[in-house]
Amino acid sequence: MRVTWPRIVSPRVRSGCLAAGLFAGLAGGLLPLQSSARPAHKAEELQIYFVDVEGGQATLFVTPDKHSLLIDTGWSGANGRDADRIAAAANEAGLTRLDFVLITHYHIDHAGGFPELAAKIPIGHVFDHGPNRQTDEPATQQTWEAYQKAVADKKTHRTTPKVGDVLPVRGMRVEVISSDGATITQALPGAGQENPACAKSGPYPDDKSENPRSLGTLLTFGKLRILDLGDLTSDKEMLFMCPKNLLGRVDILVVSHHGTPSSSSPALVYGAAPRIAVMDNGATKGGSVRVLDTVKSSPGLEDLWQLHFSSAGGTEHNVKDPARIANPAGPDGGYYLKVTGRKDGSFDVFNSRTGEIKKYAAK
């Protein structure tokens, strides 16, 4: 069955400084209209779809040669809503299969959609952190068991990588930063400086859930660096961010744990110093005031993009520009955000609700 995205308007280029409703002509006007009413894809670009799975995670990376990596699969249930939305992203990207799926951890909003997705599209290989560690939580244990069964039923290859491993995704480098509670202990190339934001962070309590077990990755495409740590908690962030920043700076930060306050310490957010951050929050899940404010105050941040307007954040703490939110307050449209990256470090962000594209030059 073919699934489609919500209806969107034609894409437009938006500058960073013009008011809503006035930018189209001043920022270069309309781009040539594509038959799909979406941005054209060039051969040497990395596509990243931030699929709206209502406060879970599903992030699809597609390399120039159409090799693919999906990080997490959203929720189960809701009549297969999240599997449908992910399949639609794959279809939009021109994929007939997913080469790799990475499950960061076994909470239902990250791994719950795997069986339904595996029934819709072939999956070549899965990565995970190993067995579920939160066995006393029924929903998580059930999610883990359903995931194992789907992997076995579909005869999908499964690997449990370790910290420091580089995953075999052709066309980009995917390095494991955290897995099953372990984190990197040596500075990555160019990193290792003292992190002044440590003074504003911690101490944090040890988290005993699946969250600190998250399989986190640094994804590199030429000069472009993207950090995705799943739901890694602040007690683990401190291990590789303090006293020295072993990670270095990134261009794009996927805000950990949907903006929940047990993650995204100043040590991580300020130390990584992203150019943009993308928060895969839901209307009533994630998007906490503390994390919204921490991310927005990060040194050098050009923009925060949100999948939803956060009810908890209200008008004071959500981003001020509604064009930076895929799904504003009100009826949910299931709109997505898409990043198109290039090896020189430049990238664009496309909001499927507005049809607008914001460009970020190489630095």
Residue 175 main-chain phi, psi, to 5 deg: -105, 135
Reading the chain (363 residues) residue by residue, the pLDDT tens digits are 333 444 334 444 443 332 332 222 222 222 222 333 455 555 699 999 999 999 999 999 999 999 999 999 999 999 999 999 999 999 999 999 999 999 999 999 999 999 999 999 999 999 999 999 999 999 999 999 999 999 999 999 999 999 999 999 999 999 999 999 999 999 999 999 999 999 999 999 999 999 999 999 999 999 999 999 999 999 999 999 999 999 999 999 999 999 999 999 999 999 999 999 999 999 999 999 999 999 999 999 999 999 999 999 999 999 999 999 999 998 889 999 999 999 999 999 999 999 999 999 998
**Among 55, 59, 5, 53, CA closest to 252:** 59
Q: Is 361 exposed, middle or buried (0-12, 13-18, 19+ CB in 10 A)?
A: exposed
CA separation for the pair 346, 363 (Å, rounded): 7
Q: Which domains occur in the chain, in start order?
A: 43-358 (3.60.15.10)
3-state secondary structure (DSSP) of residue 317: helix
Confidence (pTM):
0.90
DSSP 271: H
How far from 112 is each of 76, 240, 337, 345, CA to CA, in Å? Answer: 5, 29, 22, 34
